[in-house]
Structure 1
Amino acid sequence: MSEVGASAGADEILVSFRGVQKSYDGENLIVKDLNLDIRKGEFLTLLGPSGSGKTTSLMMLAGFETPTAGEILLAGRSINNVPPHKRDIGMVFQNYALFPHMTVAENLGFPLSVRGLNRTDISERVKRVLSMVQLDAFAQRYPAQLSGGQQQRVALARALVFEPQLVLMDEPLGALDKQLREHMQMEIKHLHQRLGVTVVYVTHDQGEALTMSDRVAVFHQGEIQQIAPPRMLYEEPKNTFVANFIGENNRLNGRLHSQDGDRCVVELSRGEKVQALAVNVGRTGDPVTLSIRPERISLNGFSEACANRFSGRVEEFIYLGDHVRVRMEVCGKNDFFVKQPIAELDPTLAVGDVVPLGWQVEHVRALDPLLEAN
């Protein structure tokens, strides 16, 4: 969405979750105390691993699940007891959910006839929405005669045809192959920009979330860990879970040696000291996990200006077309990755070479210690 569009609706809240909880057995909370405001016209993605509560939150907003506690407001009024078909919400699922015995045009007309529109209005709107998703020639086909991408377009058109104020999408591109999926990501994003409708999108694919969204809410164990625009989420993760879940991330474990305002020094297990941004740290002596993105690491001569400078041994090259991932042993850790664009890679670099490398203070974040064994 353009910056203008995003800020124009920024003050107007369309959806509010207030203290929302969900439990299926009365003991374990799938969603814990969710407080979330969704702005009118924004594209918000709920991102997280399986079982993190993102889909349950979407289903409560759709009306297919009821909150155990708390309240959901749509345009300022509580919808806890409003049935799904009266919420003015469009839905797109991964499995398309099209009626197989109806043509494309009939599938699209169905939500309109249920709402009591006359035939002329229905055919006008169906025509308009078919052209929007570039399927004008397919009106008389049946779902079985369409490819997966075309079916997904029809499902998208059906969610938009009655001009809802809110469209919910649950892993809508999960069944498509990589190339088609990436193409559809851009199509949905551009449709959103043109229509200005509010979209809440659920995915476990971080690349998809970063590509499409105005803001992303990262879920873990029923709670939002961080909610921010994609770039901020990637560059400024608030905790170790977000740093690991979004993009690639090198982790170094150590203890807080000293802190001075928003800067700190962390001592690694073998005694090396790293200067870092103090983002989420405890007291001196407490364990800390450092987070450094692979593309922020400089090799050889490029590392001379870096505040943190070490040596690393090249273990492996992983070729990825436009860039190379170099696996290195650094500070006793043998899965430390450096990402180098092909144009910048030193062609003489070989497995076994020991080279200087470094990173700036502003590119290493001192976060909460990682509790898992990895």
Structure 2
Amino acid sequence: MLDSQANDVLVSFRGIQKSYDGEALIVKDLNLDIRKGEFLTLLGPSGSGKTTSLMMLAGFETPTAGEILLGGRSINKLPPHKRDMGMVFQNYALFPHMTVSENLAFPLSVRGMPKLDVKERVKRALSMVQLEGFRNRYPAQLSGGQQQRVALARALVFEPQLVLMDEPLGALDKQLREQMQMEIKHLHQRLGVTVVYVTHDQGEALTMSDRVAVFHQGEIQQIDEPRVLYERPANTFVANFLGENNRLPARLVSRDGDHCTVELGRGEKVEALAVKVGAPGAPVNLSIRPERVRLNGASASCPNRFTGRVAEFVYLGDHIRIRLEVCGITDFFVKQPIAELDPALSVGDVVPIGWQVEHVRALDPLQAA
């Protein structure tokens, strides 16, 4: 069983560290296995170490310590052009003086491929990104989305075993960005190539990935499937960074296995899942997603039940965010589909609210960054 799992691993980071000044570590101790054929996203805020990790994998940066293995072999000293990896950047990096076809042919020509094969590969790559009619245009004659498609085709044209993408959709507008997310996802599913994708956009990571590694201060905080990350964050940083999150500071009263009782500032007791807590008396953060909070009659069956005063409605088309004052917290949010909104609800109303035990997690108190 272990052997078959080991055979599924394409890339291994082992004890990787990176420092630019010999003192501060941008990447602290990275141990990560990337599986063949998976779409893995490195997600995190600016300065968290995600892009540096990608650049070390690409060969544009050298690790200060540790080893990177590709197919079981160390690539620390292998130059970028010998790593068999396609790269897609945010700025496209297309050659402006070359046509679309010439841009795509370039990585094949430098590898010494026969002209007939080059022509066939370019034709196939253009078809893959639906740009057959644009082969003779120059990058300046293309829209941003078309340029990004060309960059994507160029990264795939020589059929690399691994494609690295660094914020490739950052320069596109929202609608085009969402369209390209699905195109890249479907291309990945069709081709079965391994993709390592860097972004700071949580929605993008959740939409596209098989697994997401959440980076913070040079370390992976959690690596999991998108749904697990969102529904079961391992710590307060992950809970806050991924999606909307209500955070209630509290104190641990008691623990019984994976359940616990905590006390809020005014003495209110909450039953929660004990995910990352210390000893009784220690501070904790309660994490509750806005869409998991029930209002009015829907809260009747909830073991954790309180009242909240409606402070504000934020209309977002398909759903509405309701800001409440709850247990001394002035910015507690509930998210409801428009179809479920009670039209009689108005600012100033005091309403019962509640949530199930499985939807509230007791986590570590948030440390200052």
Please say whether Structure 1 and Structure 2 have the same fold, judged by a TM-score greater than 0.5: yes
> 3-state DSSP class of the match of 1:65?
coil
> Residues 225 and 242 of structure 1 are in contact (CA less than 8 Å); yes or no, is this contact kept in structure 2?
yes
Corresponding residue for residue 129 of structure 1: 125
Report the residue type matching 2:158 in the other structure.
F
Q: Distance in 2 between matches of 1:313 and 1:269?
A: 17
- The aligned counterpart of 1:195 is 191
Q: Secondary structure of 1:326's partner?
A: strand
Select the residue among 69, 84, 90 that pairs with 1:94: 90
Structure 2 residue 318 is matched with structure 1 residue 322: yes
5 Å-filtered alignment, 1:223-238, equals 223-238=219-234
Tell me by how many angstroms 1:371 deviates: 2.7
Structure 1 residue 326: deviation in Å?
Answer: 0.1
Residue in structure 2 matched with residue 275 of structure 1 by the alignment: 271
SS of the residue aligned with 1:284? coil
Q: Which residue of 1 aligns with 2:329?
A: 333
Counterpart code for 2:247: R
TM-score normalised by structure 2 residue count: 0.98
Q: CA deviation at 1:10?
A: 8.6
User: Partner of 2:41 in structure 1?
Assistant: 45
Describe the superposition over 1:107-158 as per-residue Cα deviations: whole angstroms up to 9, x where unpaired.
0000000000011000000000000000000000000000000000000000
2:366 is aligned with 1:367: no
Q: Which residue of 2 aligns with 1:217?
A: 213
Q: Give the conservation status (yes or no) of the 8 Å contact 1:213–1:230.
A: yes
Say yes or no: does 1:166 pair with 2:162.
Answer: yes
1:207-246 CA distances to partner (integer Å, 9 max, x unpaired)? 0000000000000000000000000000000000000000
> Which structure 1 residue ranges, 5 or more long, are not aligned?
1-7
The match for 1:5 is none
- SS of the residue aligned with 1:242? helix
Identity of aligned residues (%): 83
Structure 2 residues not aligned, in runs of 5+: none
1:156 aligns with 2:149: no
Asked whether the equivalents of residues 255 and 285 of structure 1 are also in contact (C-alpha less than 8 Å), the reply is yes
Structure 1 runs of 4+ aligned residues shifted over 2 Å read 8-11
Instruction: Output the CA distance in 2 between the equivalents of 1:11 and 1:234.
Output: 29
Q: Is it true that 1:143 corresponds to 2:147 in the alignment?
A: no
TM-score normalized by the length of structure 1: 0.97
Deviations 1:280-302 (A, max 9, x none): 00000000000000000000000
Q: Compute the displacement of 1:269 (Å).
A: 1.1
Q: SS of the counterpart of 2:113?
A: coil
CA-atom RMSD in angstroms: 1.1
Secondary structure of 1:210's partner? helix
Q: 1:110 aligns with which of 90, 106, 109?
A: 106
| Alignment partner of 2:32 out of 23, 29, 36 | 36
Task: Quote the Cα distance in structure 2 between the aligned partners of 1:140 and 1:291.
Answer: 54
Partner-residue secondary structure (3-state), 2:32: strand
The amino acid that maps onto 1:312 is: G
